[in-house]
Amino acid sequence: MQLLDGKKAGQAIRDEIRLQVAQRLAEGKKQPHLAAILIGHNGASATYVGAKVKACEEAGIHSTLLHYESDLPEHELLEKIESLNNDTEVDGILVQLPLPKQIRETAVIHAIDPKKDVDGFHPVNQGLLMQGQPGFIPATPYGIILLLKQYGVETAGKEAVVIGRSNIVGRPMSVLLSQPGETGNCTVTLCHSKTKNLAEHIRRADIVVAALGQPEFVKADMIKPGSIVIDVGITRVENPSKKSGFELKGDVDFSSVAPLCSWITPVPGGVGPMTIAALLQNTLQACLQKDL
Ligand code: GUN
């Protein structure tokens, strides 16, 4: 078993971005700028946004964090997004999900200028992805692709099973793995909550991407020996013995599954850091595209 170390691979990408940003600044070009919007007081969301903003600063990317109360009316958020769309200083806009119930996720995603949509959630970017054309790819699946590339993992001709059909992870992941190219050419099965005989599908897979959000769902008896396992899950599970009062659990029962795999991502330190690296890559890309 070999670890797909997202912390290490993510750091290598972030170091490369830092060099590219420094080079831009030395040439007198504009510093990339990410505007991140956080609404309310969800602990996990605050942690994720904090990590994204910190990673930006370390890479030399300017970031602005806009934090609003959870009763923010939808129209005020849409107005803010509109002003960020029109702000030539801002290259990338990110609205952390989930949103409070008075705000429609679709309205927010549609309001972001596709050229600044570094999360890759806008239908224009999702459509470009479907067609295999350049656009912003959602950070989690993009990060997984970068991780597979970094470790030279062969995917062509393999059976891939993606568990979870969200627009953020599962669905774009299934598209990327089935595309022609270095980290594609898989035969993909997209499983979800209504899939019959889920364990049987997983047992057939050479590559498993677990993104269902159920801690330790994937067990050793579901895994074909030698398979590649990517764990997207990151659930906070109560644990009074921890200082924070919780621990992070993936969707894969790592201790029993890992010995069977050829490659596996740990949680934490696997997909999470790659998601951040991919977001920075998208933000740099958004800035570079303005130079053209
Ligand atoms: N919530 C969970 N994952 C994400 C993500 O990748 N981007 C945003 N904006 N919100 C999220």
Note the pLDDT tens digit of each residue in 115-131: 999 999 999 999 999 99
Q: Is the pLDDT of residue 262 over 80?
A: yes
Q: Is the pLDDT of residue 200 over 80?
A: yes
- Is the dihedral angle over the CA atoms 73, 75, 79, 82 positive or is it negative? positive
Does residue 6 lie in a domain region?
no
Phi, then psi, of 108 in degrees rounded to 5: -70, -50
Task: Give the domain range for residue 183.
Answer: 139-272
The reported pLDDT for the residue numbered 174 is: 98
Helix (H, G, I), strand (E, B) or coil at 81: helix
Q: Is there an atom of ligand 1 within 6 Å of 96 CB?
A: yes
**Buried-state track 120-156, b at ≥16 Cβ within 10 A, e below 16:** bbbebbbebbeeeeebbbbbbbbbbbbbbebeebebe
Q: How confident is the model at residue 50 (pLDDT cuts 50, 70, 90)?
A: very high
Residue whose CA is closest, atom 11 of ligand 1?
A: 97
Q: Is 282 in the pocket of ligand 1 (CB under 6 A)?
A: no
Report the separation in Å between the CA atom of 140 and the middle of ligand 1, taken as the mean of its atom positions. 9
pLDDT at 291 (0 to 100): 80
Ligand 1: residue of 49, 77, 99, 168 to mutate (most ligand atoms within 8 A of CB) is 168
> Tokens 């050419």 belong to which residue?
185
pLDDT at 208: 99
Label residue 7 exposed, middle or buried (CB < 10 Å: 0-12, 13-18, 19+): middle
pLDDT, tens digit, 9 for 90 and up, residues 215-260: 999 999 999 999 999 999 999 999 999 999 999 999 999 999 999 9
* The predicted structure's pLDDT at residue 292: 73
In a domain, 176, yes or no: yes
Give, using CA atoms, the residue closest to atom 9 of ligand 1: 96
* Domain count of the fold of the chain: 2
For residues 239 and 153, membership in a common domain is answered with yes
Is there a domain that residue 84 lies in?
Answer: yes
97 within domain boundaries:
yes
Backbone angles phi, psi at 290, to 5 degrees: -75, -25
CATH code (residue 45): 3.40.50.10860
Q: Which two tokens stand for residue 187?
A: 């035969």
Domain of 230, CATH number, reads 3.40.50.720
Q: Could you tell me if the CB of 139 is within 6 A of ligand 1? A: yes
Mean pLDDT of 94-98: 98
pLDDT at position 89 = 97
Positions marked catalytic: 52, 96, 119
State whether 166 and 220 are in the same domain.
Answer: yes
5 part of a folded domain:
no
The H or E element that residue 126 is part of is: helix 123-130
pLDDT, tens only, 55-67: 999 999 999 999 9
